[in-house]
Chain A
């Protein structure tokens, strides 16, 4: 069985500050890991994904995430937050059968 835990349902940062959204997973097989962003009244958009190879994955909008097997983590970061980054972020893990989501983290960006 696989599962995802997102630490912090709500994260607030100032514009220009570092964004760090935490995600830990459990999986019985090598996982495929995803980060999605959702804006109000819209469906999910893929930010980035890890499959195999390089553990530091770069995504859209300046986001990146690092797969750390020893820590079973896949935290999402962005060096400098922008007002447009305010949204809900979901971490997900997938194996050969299905996908499981974390509960989501709401990111607020203060001017």
Chain B
């Protein structure tokens, strides 16, 4: 079964509104989570690394004030797209690493499709 969930899976919103996307690790704790966005038929783009209890690390070119990331607990990271515009329409995916012994396995969420009208 899925070990990383995202909510919602689909969201449609009006331009100018804010949208929050949740990423949860279901049966393990994740001090780090990664947020990506993907345009149709294109590669993923890493947006930021979410760190529990501290500020997220954003990739170059990603607007921090536009894409707010909060990693308030060891099982939840949220991405808020503030004042969304049509160009923010995309597929957003999170991932979380799970460590067992000296092995780390990366689990991906199912993704959230955002459509801004």
Report B93-117 CB contacts with A as 1/0, cut-off 8 Å.
Answer: 1010100000111101001010000
**Beta-carbon contacts under 8 Å, A65-111 to B:** 88, 90, 92, 94-99, 101, 104, 106
Tell me what chain B mostly uses at the interface: helix, strand, loop, or mixed.
strand
Interface residue? A17 (CB, 8 A): no
Q: Are A43 and B104 in contact (CB under 8 A)?
A: no
Q: Are A99 and B44 in contact (CB under 8 A)?
A: yes
Residues of A within 8 A of B93 (CB): 99
Interface hub of A38, A40, A43, A98 (most chain B Cβ within 10 A): A43
| Chain A-chain B contacts (Cβ-Cβ < 8 Å), number | 52
State which of B36, B41, B106 has its C-beta within 8 Å of the C-beta of A104: B106
* Interface residues contributed by chain A, number (CB under 8 Å): 23
Interface residue? B70 (CB, 8 A): no
Q: Are A49 and B43 in contact (CB under 8 A)?
A: yes
| Bound CA–CA A104/B107 (angstroms) | 9
Q: Are A44 and B36 in contact (CB under 8 A)?
A: yes
Query: Interface on B for A, CB 8 Å cutoff?
Result: 32, 34, 36, 38, 40-44, 46, 49, 59, 91, 93, 95, 97, 103-106, 108, 111, 113
Query: Interface on A for B, CB 8 Å cutoff?
Result: 32, 34, 36, 38, 40-41, 43-44, 46, 49, 51, 88, 90, 92, 94-99, 101, 104, 106
